[in-house]
Amino acid sequence: MAVRCVIVDDSERFRASARRLLTTQGMAVVADAADSRQALRAIDEHDPDVVLVDVGLGAESGLDLAAQIAPRPVIVVSSLAPDDVEELVGRTGALGFVSKSQLSALTITSLLRRLPET
C-alpha cells in the first residue's frame, strides 16, 4: 500500500512539483496545503501516514506547525542548508529534515522506518 502524505508549503509551484515527483515514485499525495490552517484541516480529513512541512510558510513558521502536529509523523523540508535548520528541526519532534533538492519517496520511507512498530 502506498504511503499517504500531505504536503505543506506556501509555494504552489513547489507543492505541484513535489506532488508530481512523489506520485510518480509510488506515494499517494492525499492533499496539500499552503498554511497551518489548511494543513490542520487536511490532516484531520485525510489522516496521512506522514506530513511534509516547509520551514517557512509565508508569515507562519513551519517548525511551529511541525511541533503542533507531532507525534504524528512529520518531515521538515526546506531549501535552506541542513546545518542551518537541523537543530531547530530536532526540537519539533519531527522525524527529520530533507532538503527540497533531495526530496524523494526513498528519503521519506527511509525516515518513516525510524518509527517504532505498532
92, part of any domain:
no
Residues 91-106 pLDDT 10s: 888 999 999 999 999 9
**What gap in Å lies between CA 23 and CA 105, rounded to an integer?**
9
In a domain, 115, yes or no: no
Residue 40 lies in a domain: yes
pLDDT per residue as tens digits for the range 6-45: 999 999 999 999 999 999 999 999 999 999 999 999 999 9
In a domain, 71, yes or no: yes
Question: Would residue 69 count as lying in a domain?
Answer: yes
Structural domain of 68? 1-6+29-50+64-75
19 occurs within a structural domain: no
Extract the C-alpha cell encoding 110: 527511509
The structure's pTM equals: 0.93
Q: What pLDDT, on a 0 to 100 scale, did the predictor assign at position 4?
A: 98
Give the total number of structural domains in the chain: 1
Q: Kindly report the number of other CB atoms within 10 A of residue 53's CB atom.
A: 30
Distance separating alpha carbons of residues 62 and 83, to the nearest angstrom: 17
